[in-house]
Structure 1
Amino acid sequence: MKKILFVASECVPFIKTGGLADVVGSLPKCFDKEYFDVRVIVPKYMCMKEEFKNQMQYRAHFYMEMNWRSQYVGILEMQYDGITYYFIDNEYYFAGPKPYGNIYEDIEKFAFFSRAALSALPVLDFRPDIIHCHDWQTGLIPVYLKDTFQQGEFFRGIKTVMTIHNLKFQGVWDMKTVKDITGLPSYFFTPDKLEAYGDANYLKGGLVYADAITTVSNTYAEEIKTAFYGENLDGLLNARANSLRGILNGIDYDEYNPETDKYIAKNYNAKNFRKEKAKNKRALQEELGLEVNDKKFLIGIVSRLTDQKGFDLINYMMDEICQQDLQIAVLGTGEEKYENAFRYFAWKYPGKVSANIYYSEALSHKIYAGCDAFLMPSLFEPCGLSQLMSLRYGTVPIVRETGGLKDTVWPYNEFEGTGTGFSFANYNAHEMFNTIRYAHSVYIEKKREWNKIIDRAMAADFSWKASAMKYQELYDWLAGF
């Protein structure tokens, strides 16, 4: 029986700010329980829901040396969906209304968390064969394993996997402070280890010392070896290319299921969507104050409103897009300029544009179910989950060919009758606009073809099962089985 420990800063359903939480919450359930004992360790944030905090059982506590000071570490435990979760408790570090705050506080918080997670294992009497670390918040774990934890028999031979969910976030702070916080010797702060451009870099430490590196799609694994996508770590990623592989994220097919979804107006499936899906469109048009009309081409956007997601392209072409006979439903928050731009377009084009500048789980499901197409023109996209949800709901994605979008959306080919969506290659506003117009024309003029695109989209399988198999292969290889 192989023992695997996931260590991460967030995890569905306990705490979520992004796709990382979905991965850490969904993936452990998908491993074969006969061969893998997978457990998860996350911080116990004060802002978690009371219902979860009340179910946690106290396991132990101890005091841990953090360089020159002694810190309290509490360990709580909870079973959820057949998985054992451990929570590291320390009110000083994990108080506050949200999991992340100022980077200088987070730098100390996650040094504490990484060290506490390792120190808790002998107390819990759980010795993993592999520790699976996620993003920069856990980047110090492979480093600590090579340092202080090497002395103990317990930790010797534990292998580590480092998964990059988004290379843009690296945990960078000045070297003197990081040395002081982590208690790591100067030996680690050189350009071939934690030092990067004069600062200390948590993610870099993890990438140098992990036994294997994964990221969340094949294309992104290739892209990050180039200067454009490499966020100043492309040299290191090229040096470690033999240890780097892309494994696509999945989505939870129980939670995102048009046949059973409790948020949507009318349930449907791959067989009856031709009749039933339109009822969701009408309900959505009505709810958002758009003109209720089956013939209007309705485009959905559910996203963080940031440059990364391609909103400068959308913003630039929005007037031209709104000259077309279509509608747009937007849901999300982000940079102020984009929030305000959508409010302005909703005012300028009433009945055509609906701007919902907040986040709502229910409305996101209604948009995935009710729209005809889903727009995602990202500058870069490690994996992307929204396009997977759209495919699942038979809402045709219009994407830029980057990262996971390129790996999961097959462009429509009218001559071969293949494809599950529409895509464009260059990060160019007019190219995006022309792709939207092309999708619109297929929707209006070739309705049977459009429905066949939906057939293929809904038949695609991006559940966690396929990804879990790939991770199992990686764990087997690492543990030498």
Structure 2
Amino acid sequence: MKNILFASSECVPFIKTGGLADVVGSLPKYFDKKEYDVRVVLPKYTCMNQKWKDMLEYESHFYMDIAGVDQYVGILKCVYDKITFYFIDNEFYFGGFAPYDGDPKWNIEKFAFFSKAVLSILPVIGFRPDLIHCHDWQTGLIPVYLDNFRYLGEYYRGIKSVMTIHNLKFQGVWDTKTVRQITGLPEYYFAPDKMEAYKDANLLKGGIVYADKVTTVSQTYAEEIKTPFYGEALDGLMRARANDLCGIVNGLDYEEYCPFSDTRIARKFTVETFRKNKPFNKAALQEELGLEKDNKVMLIGMVSRLTDQKGFDLIDYVMDELCQDAVQIVVLGTGDAKYENMFRHFAWKYSGKVSANIFYSEELSHKIYASCDAFLMPSLFEPCGLSQLMSLRYGTIPIVRETGGLKDTVEPYNEFEKTGTGFSFSNYNAQEMLNTVRYAERIYYDKKRDWNKIVERAMNMDFSWKNSARQYNDLYKSLIGE
């Protein structure tokens, strides 16, 4: 039996701000329990729902030095869905209304504390992992501390580490002197070939340098981040670690996102019954959102953070033109004020045709995935993306830009070979995007039988966690053996 410990700043169902939480909440369930004991460690945020806090049992506590102060480290524990979760308790760091604060220096101190505590609790909880799987910059110091702790005694020697980059844009950067003072790490670690990057300390870089293997969340993104455009100033390091870098595409929780058992949607459907039942969902959504009721019109959905990364500048550029077409558009999400207001404006200008829902609702997102005909996702970069996997699952055809995980999971339609599960374009260009949307419209209106075949192929794809867990399994074995 091999012991694996996942370390993360968020995890469903306890705390979530983005896709990272879905990954850490879902993946551990898919490993063979006879082979692996997989456990998860998280911060105990005071902003967690009381329901989850009530489940936690006190294990132990001690004090640990961080930033020159002896800080309380409480350890709580619960078993949920047959997985053991540990929570590190310290209200000084994990109080507040959200997991991340607006103050980057405070976030760095908070997650430096968390990273050091993750290693410090191991002898106390009696769980010595063969491998620690670290997620994003918030846990970037774990491989660095692991290297440092190896000098302190036998216990930490031989523990392997994997660093997974969910989005290279976020790195945990602050001035070297402050980070050194916070972490208490020797000067040795703050050199350009270690944690220092462009005169500052970079927590993610530390994790990438010291981890035994580095993964990211799709094969294409693993290649892209070796280039200056996508590399976020770490492309040189990515090329240097190319032999230890691999891309494993995220999976989707197929129980949570399931068109034939989803209680949030108007009418359940399968790949055999979508022709008959999916239109009921569309009609229900049109009614709920005040769109003109018309089952024949092509309904395009977007569920996203409204930011530049997600390609909304392209949509802004051609939105007026797109609204001249025989389409309806429904948007769900929050983000930059300029995009929120842009969608509000078009919902006012084309009322009955455009629905702007500037908030987030899990329930409405399911209805959009189940009701729309197409799903638009023209990202500038997309490490993996889960929305296109959800839309494939519900037979809502993705229209995507060929980048990162979008390129790896959506096969472009080929009308001559009758293959493909969606539509895609390669250049980051508004006109090219509009042309692709219009090509999809043409197939939808003029070749309905071909369109339905695309829906069938999309719904038959398997992007469940089983697949991804198998690849992580192989990766773990390469480091810690059978």
Q: What's the TM-score once normalised by structure 1's chain length?
A: 0.99
Q: Aligned with 1:170: secondary structure?
A: coil
Report the alpha carbon displacement of residue 67 of structure 1 after superposing the two structures with TM: 4.8
Structure 1: distance between partners of 2:378 and 2:227: 20
Q: Which residue of 2 aligns with 1:364?
A: 365
After superposition, the Cα gap between the structure-2 partners of 1:260 and 1:345, relative to the gap in structure 1 and judged at 3 Å, is same
Cα separation, 1, equivalents of 2:307 and 2:189: 35
Shift of 1:65: 1.6
User: Shift in Å at residue 81 of structure 1?
Assistant: 0.4
CA distance in 2, matches of 1:258, 1:66: 48
Note if 1:124 corresponds to 2:91. Answer: no
The one-character-per-residue Cα deviations of 1:47-80 (angstroms, maximum 9, x if unpaired) are 1010110010000000012252100000000000
Structure 2 stretches lacking a partner, 5+ long: none
1:306-385 to 2 correspondence within 5 Å? 306-385=307-386
Q: Distance in 2 between matches of 1:436 and 1:275?
A: 25
CA distance in 2, matches of 1:285, 1:176: 56
Tell me which residue corresponds to 2:410: 409
Task: Supply the distance in 2 between the matched residues of 1:390 and 1:113 (Cα, whole angstroms).
Answer: 35
The 3-state SS of whatever aligns with 2:112 is: helix
1:254-288 deviation per Cα after TM superposition (whole angstroms, max 9, x unaligned): 00001010110111111100000000000000101
Please report how far the alpha carbon of residue 153 of structure 1 lies from its aligned counterpart in structure 2 after TM superposition: 1.4
CA distance in 2, matches of 1:85, 1:333: 31
**Shift of residue 152 of structure 1?**
2.0
Q: Where does residue 175 of structure 1 map in the other structure?
A: 176
What is the CA deviation profile of residues 310-354 of structure 1, one whole-angstrom value per residue up to 9, with x for unaligned ones? 000000000000010100000000001000100001001000100
Distance in 2 between the 1:38 and 1:59 partners? 18
Q: CA deviation at 1:365?
A: 0.1
Aligned residue in 1 for 2:161: 160
**How far, CA to CA, are the matches of 1:195 and 1:476 in structure 2?**
31
Deviations 1:15-53 (A, max 9, x none): 000000000000000000000000000000001010110
For 1:269 and 1:480, how far apart are their aligned partners in 2?
41
Residue aligning to 1:15: 15
Q: Separation in 2 of the partners of 1:326 and 1:136? A: 41
Q: Partner of 2:140 in structure 1?
A: 139
Segments ≥4 residues shifted beyond 3 Å: none
Give the structure 2 partner of residue 268 of structure 1: 269
Kept in 1, the 8 Å contact 2:11–2:24? The answer is yes
RMSD: 0.6
Cα distance per residue 1:395-421 (max 9 Å; x no partner): 000000000000000000000000000
Q: Deviations over 1:158-194 (max 9, x none)?
A: 0000000000000000111101100011111111011
C-alpha separation in 2, matches of 1:262 and 1:154:
48
- Once residues 15 and 242 of structure 1 are traced to their aligned partners in structure 2, the CA distance between those partners, rounded to angstroms, is 34
Amino acid at match of 2:260: E
One-letter code of the match for 2:19?
G
Aligned counterparts of 1:67 and 1:146: Cα–Cα separation in 2 = 19
Aligned to 1:441: 442
Asked whether the equivalents of residues 224 and 230 of structure 2 are also in contact (C-alpha less than 8 Å), the reply is yes
Q: 1:478, 1:315 → 2: CA distance?
A: 47
CA distance in 1, matches of 2:462, 2:403: 20
Equivalent residue letter for 2:233? N
Q: Percent same amino acid at aligned positions?
A: 71
SS at match of 1:71: strand
> Is the partner of 1:110 in helix, strand or coil?
helix
| 1:69-218 to 2 correspondences below 5 Å | 69-101=69-101, 102-218=103-219
2:25 aligned partner: 25
Gaps of 5+ in 1: none
Q: Which amino acid aligns with 1:414?
A: E
Q: Matches of 1:131 and 1:81 in 2, distance apart? A: 21
* Aligned counterpart, 1:247: 248
C-alpha distance after superposition, 1:79-130 (max 9, x if no partner): 0000000000000000011100121110000000000111000000100000
Separation (CA, whole Å) in 2 of partners of 1:52 and 1:232: 39
Secondary structure of 2:433's aligned partner: helix
- Corresponding position of 2:286: 285
- Tell me what 1:51 maps to: 51
Partner of 1:389: 390
Post-superposition CA distance 1:211-256 (Å, at most 9, x none): 0000000000000000000000000000000000000100100000
Contact 2:304 2:332 in 1 (8 A): yes
What aligned pairs does 1:459-474 form with structure 2 within 5 A after superposition? 459-474=460-475
Question: Separation in 2 of the partners of 1:297 and 1:200?
Answer: 50
1:38 & 1:426 partners in 2: Cα distance?
41
- Cα distance in 1 for residues equivalent to 2:242 and 2:468: 20
Partner of 1:5: 5
Partner-residue secondary structure (3-state), 2:279: helix
Using the size of structure 2 for normalisation, the TM-score is 0.99
Q: Output the CA distance in 2 between the equivalents of 1:98 and 1:162.
A: 24
SS in 2 for 1:58: strand
Q: Distance in 2 between matches of 1:150 and 1:75?
A: 25
Which whole-Å CA distance do the structure 1 matches of 2:104 and 2:465 have between them? 32
The answer to whether the 8 Å contact 2:149/2:156 transfers is: no
1:110 and 1:410, CA in 2 relative to 1: closer, same or farther beyond 3 A? same
Q: Which amino acid aligns with 2:259?
A: P
Specify the SS of the correspondent of 1:323: coil
Letter of the structure 2 residue corresponding to residue 235 of structure 1 = G
Give the match's secondary structure for 1:64.
strand
* One-letter amino acid of the counterpart of residue 224, structure 2: E
* Separation in structure 1 between the aligned mates of residue 292 and residue 150 of structure 2, nearest angstrom: 63
What is the CA–CA distance in structure 2 between the aligned matches of 1:411 and 1:17, rounded to whole Å?
Answer: 30
Q: Secondary structure at the match of 1:147?
A: helix
AA matched with 1:437: R
Q: Is the 8 A contact 2:393 2:459 kept in 1?
A: yes
Aligned pair count? 481
Secondary structure of 1:163's counterpart equals: strand
Counterpart CA distance in 2 for 1:364 and 1:422 is: 21
